[in-house]
């Protein structure tokens, strides 16, 4: 059994893929709730430093660490780096893990290559699986894990078969983790965003007015989603208020395609 943080009074999250988009919003939403973060970025250090600065402006620490979540061979070294970052925050362990990092993909089923499918699997399934496994010794008993899925596991949009299949695998993995980590009082849930106006997928929801309007027409609340619709929800789900929510897929789509 792991012990809980004693040296640090603040809760600490590890959020992957947080130099932009939903991950960035999650780190800042957590900071607004008094949570420090260790977050990953793949390549853009400058963007990551901006996130750290914005968290500091909210009075919290956010430490950026470089990580390619598709390269499982680096996870051991990353866990050591995370341990050092925790020490810098005055802690030995962390409380929340948000597996957010991902890549987009759009292609008709009959055009998808084996290489493309393998690349998606590396990041969205294998990466989530083994990074979580590697970080388990560092997460507190009573901690929380949120895996990011997609509305596309329910809403069928042609051209998204490979991506959606990977996210569906994550949803099943979430339920198994919830069962197996239950003895440590660790909850595990999936958050499945609908179409969100970020730079994901080349910014197509944000920057293509026709697509944005089409999504708005499919959504009960009459608009496409925004990062501010997702980050605060994840932060709330991680809080003690939602301690009894476990093994759930929670779609955050404004009522898309209902």
**Does residue 125 lie within any of the structural domains?**
yes
**Does residue 76 lie within any of the structural domains?**
yes
Specify the pLDDT at position 198: 74
Beta bridge partners of 189: 146
Specify the pLDDT at position 177: 99
**Does residue 62 lie within any of the structural domains?**
yes
Does the structure show a pLDDT above 90 at 164? yes
Domain count, the chain: 1
Give the pLDDT confidence of 207-216 residue by residue, as tens digits. 788 889 999 9
Helices (H) and strands (E) in the chain, counts: 9, 7
Does the structure show a pLDDT above 50 at 29? yes
Nearest to 247 by CA among 192, 179, 193, 183: 179
CA terminus-to-terminus distance, the chain: 43
**Does residue 75 lie within any of the structural domains?**
yes
Does the structure show a pLDDT above 70 at 183? yes
Give the pLDDT confidence of 34-78 residue by residue, as tens digits. 999 999 999 999 999 999 999 999 999 999 999 999 999 999 999
**DSSP conformation class of 123:** I
Nearest to 63 by CA among 14, 25, 29, 22: 14
What would the mean pLDDT of 123-136 be, rounded to a whole number?
98
Specify the pLDDT at position 42: 96
Does the structure show a pLDDT above 60 at 4? no
**Does residue 6 lie within any of the structural domains?**
no
Residue 97 exposed, middle or buried by CB count within 10 Å (0-12, 13-18, 19+): buried
What would the mean pLDDT of 124-152 be, rounded to a whole number?
98
**What DSSP letter does each residue of 155-189 carry, written as one string?**
S--TT-HHHHHHHHHHHHHHHHHHHHTGGGT-EEE
Specify the pLDDT at position 7: 42
Specify the pLDDT at position 1: 42
Specify the pLDDT at position 199: 65
**DSSP conformation class of 28:** H
**Does residue 131 lie within any of the structural domains?**
yes
Rounded to whole angstroms, the Cα distance separating 231 from 98 reads 11
Poorest-confidence range of 127-136, 178-187, 212-221? 212-221
Rounded to whole angstroms, the Cα distance separating 150 from 182 reads 24
Beta bridge partners of 190: 147, 249
Specify the pLDDT at position 239: 98
What would the mean pLDDT of 223-237 be, rounded to a whole number?
96
CATH code for the domain in which residue 105 is found: 3.40.50.720
Beta bridge partners of 251: 192
- Note down the domain range covering 90: 12-252
**Does residue 127 lie within any of the structural domains?**
yes
Give the pLDDT confidence of 190-206 residue by residue, as tens digits. 999 999 887 655 567 77
**Does residue 3 lie within any of the structural domains?**
no
Stated pTM of the model? 0.94
Please say if 41 is a catalytic residue: no
Does the structure show a pLDDT above 90 at 161? yes
Nearest to 32 by CA among 243, 241, 239, 244: 239
Rounded to whole angstroms, the Cα distance separating 198 from 194 reads 12
């Amino acid at each position: 059994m792991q012990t809980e943080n004693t040296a640090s009074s603040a809760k600490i999250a590890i959020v992957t893929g947080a130099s932009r988009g939903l991950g960035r919003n999650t780190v800042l939403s957590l900071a607004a709730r008094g949570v420090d973060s260790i977050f990953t970025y793949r390549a853009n250090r400058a963007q990551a430093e901006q996130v750290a600065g914005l968290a500091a402006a909210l009075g919290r620490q956010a430490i950026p660490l470089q990580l390619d979540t598709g390269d499982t061979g680096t996870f051991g070294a990353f866990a050591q780096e995370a341990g050092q970052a925790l020490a810098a925050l005055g802690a030995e362990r962390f409380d929340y893990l948000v597996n957010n990092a991902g890549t987009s993909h759009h292609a008709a089923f009959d055009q998808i290559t084996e290489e493309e499918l393998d690349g998606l699997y590396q990041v969205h399934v294998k990466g989530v699986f083994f990074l979580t496994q590697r970080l388990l010794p560092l997460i507190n008993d009573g901690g929380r894990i949120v895996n990011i899925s997609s509305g596309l596991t329910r809403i069928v949009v042609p051209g998204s078969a490979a991506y959606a299949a990977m996210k569906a695998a994550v949803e099943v993995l979430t339920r198994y983790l919830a069962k197996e980590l239950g003895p440590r009082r660790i909850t595990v849930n999936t958050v499945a965003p609908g179409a969100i106006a970020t730079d994901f997928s080349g910014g197509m929801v944000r920057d293509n007015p026709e697509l944005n309007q089409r999504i708005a027409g499919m959504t009960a609340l009459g608009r496409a989603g925004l990062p501010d619709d997702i980050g605060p929800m994840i932060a709330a789900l991680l809080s003690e208020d939602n301690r009894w929510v476990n093994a759930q897929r929670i779609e955050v789509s404004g009522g898309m395609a209902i």
